[in-house]
Amino acid sequence: MIPLHSMKSIWVCLPVLLLTAGAAPVTQWEKPGASLTAVDDAMQQCRMDARLAPQPHLGPSPHSMGTPALDRIEDRDVNEDARFRKCMQDKGYSAKP
């Protein structure tokens, strides 16, 4: 039998493991003539803008994992990533393949 404190640890760590397991690889961004500092600055600004943007209030997610809290986190991350990518592209950057 598994001790109770071990079971609690499993349930605390499980959401973190699920979220990191589904994380996409880090995208490299480039722009002709842009220094690494300029790329980093643009990424930080776009990341901040994406995080601070209002979240759309949609109904239940069509790709529901069954847990409303996880669905909201997933939807937030997808929307934030889309806003980040658009911001970088609007600044003239392109994602390296």
Tell me the longest C-alpha to C-alpha distance in the chain.
61
What span, in angstroms and rounded, lies between the C-alpha atoms of 87 and 41? 12
pLDDT tops 60 at residue 77? yes
- More confident of the two residues 69 and 92: 92
Predicted pLDDT of residue 95: 94
What span, in angstroms and rounded, lies between the C-alpha atoms of 46 and 17? 26
**What is the per-residue pLDDT across 3-47, written as a single tens digit (0 to 9) for each?**
555 555 555 555 554 555 555 667 899 999 999 999 999 999 999
* Reported pTM: 0.61
Percent of the chain at pLDDT exceeding 90: 43
What span, in angstroms and rounded, lies between the C-alpha atoms of 61 and 51? 20
H or E element at residue 45: helix 36-52
